[in-house]
Amino acid sequence: MTAAPAGAAPSAAERAATPLLAVRGLHAHYGASHVLQGIDLDVGQGQVVALFGRNGVGKSTLVHAIAGLHRATSGSVTLAGEELVGRPPHWIGRRGLALVPQGRRVFAPLTVEENLRVAARGRGRGGTWTLERVYDLLPRLAERRRNRGDQLSGGEQQMLAIGRALLRDPRIVLLDEPSDGLAPKVVEQVADVLGLLRDEGIPALLVEQNLRMALGLADVVVVMTKGAVVWTGTVDAFRRDPATAHRHLGVG
């Protein structure tokens, strides 16, 4: 293998070799239902990993288990080498993991700016993301800063959810179905925002049903079926293997 030139940015493969987020043998249950069955997954520095799977295969449970919102039965999740399993969500958030949840879940009675200031108060590490920097990245939020959460469109709520995550000064962002329920034109706007985050070098685990959007953002694809990872590879490899998409996702 030819060495990269001195000072060159690391490739996606090199970033993955020392993962920022490492999930190993993760199991989780809902009552008697064994939802996660030994998940292994990595997100490298600066990587975007797209997680695909049909409804009900455990994608959201995996995200919640990583973020501490659902108790893992066994296994390991490390962020920059620090174990997260068994820790509460606020502790995990202070270590630099931010979640953009499915359904946005903004605080409806609060204004845009109040939503953002609440997020900024809860961060535990010093960082570079300020309210004004979020407004610069997401100017629509600046325009709507005095509007309540329940006065925003779905796309504006999604941008607000992303802005809240950034104000946690994240090492990594987990995004659970960010295009869910949005019109196609709004999905394009959200994809543009996520592209800006990728360009900022923020690692992300992106759970998404919109394959076209996700493949335009991701470095790596992971496919889940029935609580297990059944395929992992680059975006190019996924595009060259339509049988995998058809067999596990019902598309292609």
Helices and strands, number each (H, E), in the chain? 11, 10
> For the segment 37-62, what is each residue's pLDDT rounded down to a tens digit?
999 999 999 999 999 999 999 999 99
pLDDT tens digits along 214-240: 999 999 999 999 999 999 999 999 999
pTM score: 0.87
- Supply the mean pLDDT for the chain: 88
The identity of residue 22, as a single letter, is: A
pLDDT at 203 over 90: yes
pLDDT in tens, 24-41: 999 999 989 999 999 999
pLDDT band at 74 (very low <50, low <70, confident <90, very high): very high
Predicted confidence band at 252 (pLDDT cuts at 50, 70, 90)? low
Q: Could you identify the residue written with the tokens 């990595």?
A: 42
Domains of the chain, each with CATH number or no CATH: 19-107+173-249 (3.40.50.300)
3-state SS of the chain: helix, strand, coil percent to 5?
Answer: 35, 25, 35
Q: Kindly tell me the burial class for residue 126, based on how many C-beta atoms sit within 10 Å of its own C-beta (0-12, 13-18, 19 or more).
A: exposed
Per-residue pLDDT tens over the stretch 82-132: 999 999 999 999 899 999 988 778 888 999 999 898 888 756 555 688 899
